[in-house]
Amino acid sequence: MSQLEQDYALLLDTVREGGALALSYFHDGVKHWQKGPDDPVSEADHAVDDLLRQKLLSGRPEYGWLSEETDDDPKRLDCKDVWVVDPIDGTRAFIQQRPEFTVCAALVREGRPLAAAVYNPATEEFYDAILGGGARLNGNPIHVSAATNFEGARLLTGQHFFRNTGPADKPAEVTIHMVNSIAYRMCLVADSRYDACISLSRKSDWDIAAAELILAEAGGVNTNSLGQGFEYNRPETLHKSVISAGPDLHAHVLQFLETVKRPPGAKW
């Protein structure tokens, strides 16, 4: 196997193990606290982070590490290959025992993801992708939907997404839903259960790097609300927004965002 294939195999095995550990905390309740305003964390986040870091770095000591639950080490910026990890994306749902959380990890090289896994152990959904190799759910190939506009679309976004829309622009038939984990949302679009994921709030590298590759390998397009792509493992790890969908619907979303009135103070 090539080095990338070996890294990919290591990634898949490690994320599965991390998911099993997360699930062991999930049903019995978990100790949790606030890292900051409206920013919960649990003992499970730290336990899974420790496991992923030990497994992924043990045989790859030259690789960098970027995780939500590990103090940032600027040495990662000098590394060609970096593991980008969110031990539990959707911590709020996890604490509330709602099955809307994922364990996420990606191998990033020179700013772009090469291999990725996103695992929801509560629902037994394991998404993975390797650059140029397509995307899978539980080993089966997946692809984004062919939706082209909002009519009849199934959207993962906030309930007020169409609040500033005039009557002529508001779709008559559209379904809006939300789940806590942004990575899970993006993967649900990758396997066409939903048509688009639209998040106009800031996200970090670890929130989206793995799911971005999975959706791209499923035929989708990922940008921020200005149509700009993502680069990872930079000094600034925040991204202003995330728009994920099939090519036609993605273009439609961006066009829509150009026409609606932005609320005062909006970052998108």
Query: Is 223 within a domain?
Result: yes
End-to-end CA distance of the chain: 43
How many Cβ atoms are within 10 Å of 141's Cβ, its own excluded?
11
Res 36: pLDDT: 74
Question: Angle at which helices 205-217 and 182-190 pack, to 10 degrees?
Answer: 0
Res 168: pLDDT: 64
Query: Is 58 within a domain?
Result: yes
pLDDT at residue 182 tops 80: yes
Strand partners, 109: 81, 112
Looking at 107, 141, 175, the residue that finishes a domain is 141
Tally of domains in the chain: 2
Q: Are residues 167 and 250 in the same domain?
A: yes
107-166 pLDDT per residue, tens: 999 999 999 999 999 999 999 999 999 999 999 999 999 999 999 999 999 988 888 776
Looking at 99, 115, 141, the residue that finishes a domain is 141
Q: Are residues 222 and 124 in the same domain?
A: no
Q: Are residues 11 and 135 in the same domain?
A: yes
Res 165: pLDDT: 73
Structural domain containing residue 239: 153-259
Determine the Cα–Cα distance for residues 238 and 146; give it in Å rounded to an integer.
30
CATH number of the domain enclosing 187: 3.40.190.80
Query: Is 264 within a domain?
Result: no
Query: Is 81 within a domain?
Result: yes
Res 39: pLDDT: 77
Q: Are residues 18 and 132 in the same domain?
A: yes
pTM score of the predicted model = 0.94
32 CB-near residues (< 8 Å, 6+ apart): 40, 41, 42, 43, 91, 95
